[in-house]
Amino acid sequence: MNIVCIGAGYVGSVTAAAFAVLGHTVTVIDLDPRKIEAIRAGTSPIYEPGLQELLHECAGTTLFASHDYDAVGRASVVFICVGTPSKADLTADLSYVKEAARTIGRHLNPDHYTVIVNKSTVPVGTADLVSSLIEETSGLTSGKDFDVVSNPEFLREGYAVEDVFYPDRIIIGTDSSRAKTVMRSLYGPVLNREGYEMLRGAVPAPGTRPPAVWFESGTKSAELIKYASNAFLAVKISYINEMARLCETLGADVTDVAKGMGLDSRIGHKFLEVSSGWSGSCFPKDTAELLATSRKYGCEQSITAAAVEANDRMLLYCVSKVQSRLKSLPGKTVGLLGLTFKPNTDDARQTQAQVMARQLESLGARVKVHDPQGMEMFRRLNPDLAVEYCESPEQVLAGADAAVLLTHWDCYLAMDWESARPAMKVPYLLDTRNVLDSRKMLQWGYVYEGLGK
């Protein structure tokens, strides 16, 4: 099939590479010349484990990149994978989606049927909006010349290559049986796991992932499935984080509590790992949009609202732990390890580190930071922060009065904590992910604290 992906971000570049590796002819369209050049050269425009290898496999043979929309006229399927950032009122900014829809409309080929797929996370009703914008600019008829399908993406950053070949579910929102047939044939190799069979080595092995479930619904339900899923996961994390604070007060251990809870198959173990809170490019913006929309329609989602509040409180709680340990913050140096919202990504948008660095600076502390992949983006997004960027975690610890481990990158787990300790002014370490060996840390002389212990 001829496929087009509009947008070469975290979703578009992975989706495009996956379908190109499966043998389709894919053109990625993006306005950013650096992304186009990177894809043409078979190099990854973002840091995502395994993506570079996929791009290298198919660039120039089945994968192409362009800044113009000419390939839309040849395509059977056009994916919209553009960003939907939050506006000032916290609703999703659909301007990139609308612009993509209008431009697709101007380039659609009236001689053949095309499926336009919304992969971006978009508010309920966007499939209808995209459909009418395409009708306006193309003069074509939805349901006859083209259909718009809602097919939300559930890729996790850091595991996107695994998730794209072995998703838990493929949600197809449309009433059109013609569009469903096209989508089924497109996703056939993913459902049948032919990617791995065809391309042993180039795609990850399925491991223990169960086969994907194909699920069809209307467009609005498909759109809401994405928001409802992300909000539910955010609730789960906020729940265990709040429980961690209760554990500290009562003298229980949140790791044991989470383990014991997770043994109930109705609850499960996943997303019960303690942290300073959830953050990143999806949960904050998606919960905000869900809340704004539900309020607009007079149907407030109080549980999601509580999860957001609990999440904000959790981060301030972590700051207060450092503050109470150091008595006062002015003149003190605090090191932050991890600027991305989780390991194995360079994504430093809306992270815990950003809020914490600001909070610490406003309380008078000097802040030193390190991240193996996220420093460039963090610096670009926070030009006003006076933090010191360090080349290594050891450099962060040197001379610090306290350090906070925010993101559990492998390099922090593997570093030589014993040798790093003497360089700290005060060896206080707050491990917000409970990933370091507390017994050893104490033995090496750290004033070590986890969360919920």
CB of 448 to ligand UDX, least distance (A): 20
* Among 408, 406, 450, 431, CA closest to 247: 450
Query: Is 259 one of the annotated binding-site residues?
Result: no
Report if residue 342 touches ligand UDX, rule: CB under 6 A: yes
273 assigned binding-site residue = yes
230 near ligand UDX, judged by CB under 6 A: yes
* Tokens read off for 346: 């360079």
Work out how close the CB of 144 gets to ligand UDX at its nearest, in angstroms, rounded to a whole number: 32
Identified binder of ligand UDX from the candidate list 75, 108, 235, 282, rule CB under 6 A? 282
Any catalytic annotation for residue 247?
A: no
* Min separation Cβ 229 and ligand UDX, Å: 7
Indicate whether 409 belongs to the interface with ligand UDX (CB under 6 A).
no
156 binds ligand UDX (CB under 6 A): yes
Q: Which of 216, 273, 361, 394 binds ligand UDX (CB under 6 A)?
A: 273
Q: Does 342 carry a binding-site annotation?
A: yes
Residue 132: CB partners within 8 Å, gap ≥ 6? Answer: 142
- Among the listed ranges 55-63, 98-106, 230-238, 362-370, the one in contact with ligand UDX (CB under 6 A) is 230-238
CB 186 within 8 A of CB 77: yes
Please say whether the beta carbons of 131 and 162 come within 8 A.
no
192's tokens: 């049948």
| Closer to ligand UDX by Cβ: residue 233 or 390 | 233
**Of the ranges 23-31, 73-81, 267-275, 373-381, which one interacts with ligand UDX (CB under 6 A)?**
267-275
Is position 447 annotated in a ligand binding site? no
CB nearer to ligand UDX: pick between 138 and 241: 241
Residue 32 Cβ vs ligand UDX, minimum distance, rounded to whole Å? 21
* Nearest distance, CB of residue 153 and ligand UDX, angstroms: 6
Please identify, among the stretches 49-57, 61-69, 268-276, 299-307, the one whose residues bind ligand UDX according to the rule CB under 6 A.
268-276
Asked whether position 341 contacts ligand UDX by CB under 6 A, the answer is: yes
Of the residues 282, 299, 318, 411, only one is catalytic, namely 282
Count residues near ligand UDX (CB under 6 A).
Answer: 19
CB of residue 271 vs ligand UDX: minimum separation in angstroms?
Answer: 4
Residues that bind ligand UDX (CB under 6 A): 153-157, 230, 233, 237, 271-273, 275, 278-280, 282-283, 341-342
User: Known binding site for NAD(+): residues?
Assistant: 30, 35, 84, 121, 157, 285, 349
User: Known binding site for substrate: residues?
Assistant: 154-157, 226, 271-275, 342
Give me the active site residues, please.
282
